[in-house]
Structure 1
C-alpha cells in the first residue's frame, strides 16, 4: 500500500488515539464535540441542512459516549455532569429537528468551559 497524504494522516490520527492517555482522549472528544457543534451551528445558519444534520448527529454520538463512559460513583460532581449530558443530548435533538442554530450555540456555550476545565485539570495532573 502506498502512503498517500490522507493515508498518513489517518494513520497518525489512529496512532494518536491509540496511545493517548484517558485524560487526553477526553479532551480530544470534547475538542471534536465543540468543532462539530460549531460546524453544525454554521451549517444551520447557512441553510445547509444535510451538513448540519451530519455534524449535530455526530455531536450527539460523542455526548452519548461521554454519558456511557462517565462513572457516576467516581466523584461528587459526576451525577450533575450526567444530567448535563442528558440535557445537551435532548437539546441537540430538538435543535436538529427545529433547525435552530441558537440552540446548538447554547449547547456549545455550556460545553466550552467544561472542555477548558478538563484541559486545565489534565495539564495540572501531568505537570
Structure 2
C-alpha cells in the first residue's frame, strides 16, 4: 500500500525526476507539475496528501498556487522548495500557510524525505482526531 500521494510542482525537469524517483522508491505515489498552472490543475483533479511546491516557476509561481489554496481551506500540507535562503520568501510562504521550507542548495534529499514523512505522520494523526 502506498505511503501517500505527493504532488511535486517543480519547473526544473532534472529535479522533478530526482524527486519522483526518490519518493517512488520510498513508497509514495507521485504526480508532477512543471508550473503553477499544471499544479492547480492536478490539485483540482485530485488533492494530494502533500504538495512539494517550488517558489520560482513559470506561468503561476508557488505563491500564486498557495494563494489559491489557503491553509484553512485545504486538506494537504505544503513544503515550499527554493534555491534561495531569503527571509522575505520564507515569511511570505509562512503567511500563505506553507508548513515547511526546503532550501535546495543547503539540504539533502534525506532531509526532504524526513520533512515529508514527518508531515505525513502529523496529517494521519490529526485525521484520527
- Normalising by structure 1, we get a TM-score of 0.28
- Identify, as 1 or 2, the structure richer in strand: 2
- Identify, as 1 or 2, the structure richer in helix: 1
Question: Which structure's relative contact order is higher, taking Cα pairs within 8 Å and 6+ residues apart?
Answer: 1
Structure number with greater Rg is 1
